[in-house]
Amino acid sequence: MAERRTLYPPIEPYESGMLDVGDGHRLYWERCGTKGAKPVVFLHGGPGAGSSPAHRRQFNPAKYDILLFDQRGCGRSTPHASLEANTTWHLVADIERLREMVGVDKWMVFGGSWGSTLSLAYAQTHPERVTELVLRGIFLFDEYELDWLYQDGASSLYPDGWEEFVSIIPEEERGDLVEAYRKRLTGEDKAVQLEAAKAWSKWEGVTVTLLPSPEVIAHSVNADHAIAIARIENHYMINKGWLEEGQLLRGAEKLRGIPAVIVQGRHDCCTPPKAAWALHKAWPEAELQIVPDGGHLFSEPGVLDGLVRATDRFAA
């Protein structure tokens, strides 16, 4: 087997700033790589996770002009953990504002996990603005995916982590855990809010790696990270991403002609392969790579190999 590709060396932004997108929100953005090279926008996961220096390194910096940004309410964007005017469609509009700011007619769109959802929503709204798509860990916001992660699915694989996740919720409220967490994450008691945020974020941290990762778990319970990702994720889950059931699959027809690679871990227990397979069936032109020893995170060796090979291919 050919040697697996890894991240490009660390790089720093050549430009960064804050973009006022209205509604009281200001987005942190940065550009890395080579100004004027092939434009690409990176859409991070969560929702609410924010971008990181490692995300810059999935692209050849000599061949790409990489725009990364922190979506509403997370990372370095302000106000922190805000749910006001924070929906899928606000973010789709934000991406267009950023494209106009960069000054390009079209760009490549790269997104994993929730970032794959947002990539699909953006590309189906503005297909004329997308040159290629690179997607990982497909999440379509259909009911079975929500139930898998937050009601009765992944508990069969991680009964210990699940028991900890539900332990702060009384038995009588466990029929709808997303709603039970919503009450705590949006309540006035800051101590209760933080307890719920850490439990929510830790549960996700348990499911995203193929093998246990103390580093991922430690990051998941960091207070600032946990509050943003738990509040914003829960807000999106309660509202089902402001998407109709099956909407992104039906909308795949709008993506005909856009070159695409989907990289999906076989053992992804956060966003299982069923959604990636359904998307591929609806959009057979998209190349689907199921990584036999991959989990959810982009940093899983086989998943990362597929992503970097895809960005290298599209750079040419």
> Tokens at residue 161, please?
């982590």
Name, in order, each residue with C-beta under 8 angstroms of 61's C-beta and a sequence gap of 6 or more: 8, 11, 32, 33, 34
Report domain extents, the chain.
Answer: 15-142+242-315, 143-241
Say which amino acid occupies 230. A
- Give 103-153 pLDDT, tens digit per residue: 999 999 999 999 999 999 999 999 999 999 999 999 999 999 999 999 988
- Give 250-304 pLDDT, tens digit per residue: 999 999 999 999 999 999 999 999 999 999 999 999 999 999 999 999 999 999 9
Which of 44, 268, 280, 305 is catalytic? The answer is 268
**32 by DSSP, 3-state: which?**
strand
Which of 51, 77, 82, 113 is catalytic? The answer is 113
Active site residue 296: yes
Cα separation, 312 vs 290, whole angstroms: 19
- For position 295, what pLDDT does the model report? 97
> Tokens at residue 260, please?
């695409």
Which of 70, 142, 296, 305 is catalytic? The answer is 296
Cα separation, 209 vs 261, whole angstroms: 21
Mean pLDDT, the chain, whole residue set: 97
- For position 153, what pLDDT does the model report? 83
Cα separation, 229 vs 216, whole angstroms: 14
| Fold of the CATH domain 15-142+242-315 | Rossmann fold (3.40.50)
> Tokens at residue 192, please?
């209760």
**64 by DSSP, 3-state: which?**
strand
Mean pLDDT of 12-29: 98
Q: Using alpha carbons only, give the angle 220, 140, 312 rounded to the nearest 5 degrees.
A: 75
Active site residue 220: no
Say which amino acid occupies 74. C
CB 263 within 8 A of CB 136: yes
Cα separation, 250 vs 236, whole angstroms: 20
Name the residue among 174, 171, 229, 179 with its Cα closest to residue 200. Answer: 229
Active site residue 268: yes
> Tokens at residue 14, please?
């050549």
